[in-house]
Structure 1
């Protein structure tokens, strides 16, 4: 049997040195430079691609930020216009209420001798005192003190349910709740106007206010029904004219 020839020690050292060399060391100088150049080109291309993607993303973010700012500006403008419209409507009703009050006869009867001024009989016989209470509550509303106004109007209706001013007070109670963004209580208060004082001058306005609240609560079907009801029950009123206008916009 032949003995195997083992590599000599110098040959083993050479093989070990070659194994430790990087791959490009096996190439000549020209090939190594070409390999490095290709690697550099690929790295730069990858970097340029990432940089472009980041710039595109930054542009999209900037565009979205500008769009959000534009929409926010529109919302603020619409909110302001809505508040102004509500204020104009509020001022209109306040002015109308004041005009109607001046046209009403003031028949303040004096309290009889020996009669307790705080008794129910004296209260019923003193519309001047009722008028003062009503005016005080209305002044709270004009001053934007809506919680206090709501309390004052509620007290007035409870103490003077049969007063000629009771429907007005109940109507302004509903408006006081609406001014506090509480449409649920506003609808409840205005519904009381319709059930307790259906023939009062404030009944059509109360029904119109209910429709407005239903719109704010996202109930367009309910608002349409209220407008239709307003046209059927009170067709020849300013409130009915507004209901027709709003139904035409649908």
Structure 2
């Protein structure tokens, strides 16, 4: 198309020249036209090459744009996937935290129950012994009543204790407090019976000499000085180095 245009233009120019200006021969004209045609061909090929190059560049740009769009889509997809995974991780983290708290509470409750069931090491009249926690709690509750001067309540509590825990390390001491509660209630005969149980069944108990002194005091309250004298003499004889023996020596004059 370009070549035809330029050839026509050349012919038009040539025809428009005055006759005296047409000094070129036909061969020269043809040569000029051929040269012009060759130049035009070269230009047209150059333009075509340029078109090809531009088309290739355009294709590359379009491909790059498509790649960028695809990359953007992939990036957005990845963002959404990351957000979803983060949500799952947060949910799992909360679930794990809940389970851990539940386990801690469960283990804490179980540990507390086991501790209640495990024996507790306590000192009973200077000796370290193992007792059940429920046993210890029952004894301490009864003793608290005695110390609060609730002698009837303490008496009932200690009697329940020795019935429930006859083999307890606290049992000798419980019998002593039973006798002491009877004495505080002025039930002297019952006090003697209770303390005598301690002396007869638990002769090795550190409370035995104290129980004998308590028996002597009840005997004195009943007016039985002779029995009180014998009882105090037994304390001095059987437990000469005890604190109870010192008390017995001090109380002996009252039995004469």
1:127 aligns with 2:132: yes
Change over 3 Å in CA distance of 1:218–1:137 after alignment to 2: same
Change over 3 Å in CA distance of 1:181–1:162 after alignment to 2: same
1:184 aligns with 2:189: yes
TM-score (normalised: structure 2)? 0.49
Q: How many residues align?
A: 134
Q: Which residue is 1:239 aligned to?
A: 244
Contact 2:162 2:174 in 1 (8 A): yes
Q: Which residue is 2:226 aligned to?
A: 221
Distance 2:219 2:209 in 1: 16
Contact 1:204 1:230 in 2 (8 A): yes
CA apart distance, 1:247: 2.0
Q: Which residue is 1:194 aligned to?
A: 199
Distance 2:134 2:252 in 1: 42
Secondary structure in 2 matching 1:245 = helix
Distance 2:128 2:223 in 1: 42
Distance 1:139 1:199 in 2: 26
CA apart distance, 1:100: 5.3
Distance 2:189 2:196 in 1: 11
Contact 2:182 2:190 in 1 (8 A): yes
Distance 1:103 1:245 in 2: 25
Q: Which residue is 1:149 aligned to?
A: 154
Q: Which residue is 2:177 aligned to?
A: 172
Distance 2:253 2:181 in 1: 29
CA apart distance, 1:145: 1.1
Contact 1:210 1:226 in 2 (8 A): yes
Change over 3 Å in CA distance of 1:185–1:100 after alignment to 2: same
CA apart distance, 1:163: 0.9
Secondary structure in 2 matching 1:185 = helix
1:208 aligns with 2:213: yes
CA apart distance, 1:160: 1.1
**Superposition RMSD in Å:** 2.0
TM-score (normalised: structure 1)? 0.50
Q: Where do 1:1-250 residues align within 5 Å?
A: 101=124, 104-105=127-128, 107=130, 127-248=132-253, 250=256
Unaligned runs of 5+ in 1: 1-98, 108-125
CA apart distance, 1:132: 0.7
CA apart distance, 1:105: 3.8
